[in-house]
Amino acid sequence: MAKAKKGDTVRLHYKGTLDDGTEFDNSEGRDPLEFEIGSGMVIEGFDKAIRGMKPDESKKFTIPTEEAYGFHDEEKVHVLNFEDFPGYFPKVGEQVEVRDTDDKKVTGTVVEVSEISLTVDANHPLAGQDLTFEVHLVEIV
């Protein structure tokens, strides 16, 4: 039976959890995730872990932070003045696209709102986390 390798397109079901057991994503009730191994379509650690699996095989693995979304980077946290956004009143937790003080486009999550500013965190929401996955390889296409 063939094993998944770089260049193969695979289809799999998965469940992703954090160290505390919180589930952050799964494919339950959806079509299996399909991607080409080695194409950069998924995070590096996930891609590596699928290599060598056979169809109908299940596996549980943990991806360390550096092979997932990296460490939380304080330089990606931007404090922006409300005066630059007239009539705009975002709420904490909202995803926004704004320009930072260097006029670069920033997409991130509003993490704080004060009377004069808002703080946007452009790190991936899972940055700084080890990620555990349970996967079932449905097929190599």
DSSP 89-131: ---TT-EEEEE-TTS-EEEEEEEEE-SSEEEEE-S-TTTT--E
Domains (ranges, CATH) in the chain? 9-70+126-140 (3.10.50.40), 74-121 (2.40.10.330)
Residue 86 pLDDT greater than 70, yes or no: yes
Res 84: pLDDT = 72
Residue 27 pLDDT greater than 80, yes or no: yes
DSSP 8-class letter at 31: P
CA neighbor of 33 nearest in space, from 53, 9, 49: 9
In which band, very low, low, confident or very high, does the pLDDT at 97 lie, cut at 50, 70 and 90?
confident
Res 116: pLDDT = 87
State which amino acid sits at residue 64: P
In which band, very low, low, confident or very high, does the pLDDT at 6 lie, cut at 50, 70 and 90?
very high
Burial (CB count within 10 angstroms: exposed 0-12, middle 13-18, buried 19+), residue 64: exposed
Q: Pick the range with the lowest mean pLDDT from 26-30, 50-54, 105-109.
A: 105-109
Return the higher-pLDDT residue of 29 and 81: 29
- Tens of pLDDT along 54-83? 999 999 999 999 999 999 999 999 888 877
> Which helix H or strand E contains 50, and what residues bound it?
helix 44-50
Q: Per the structure block, which two tokens stand in for 95?
A: 């995803």
pTM over 0.75: yes
Q: Residue 68, SS3?
A: coil
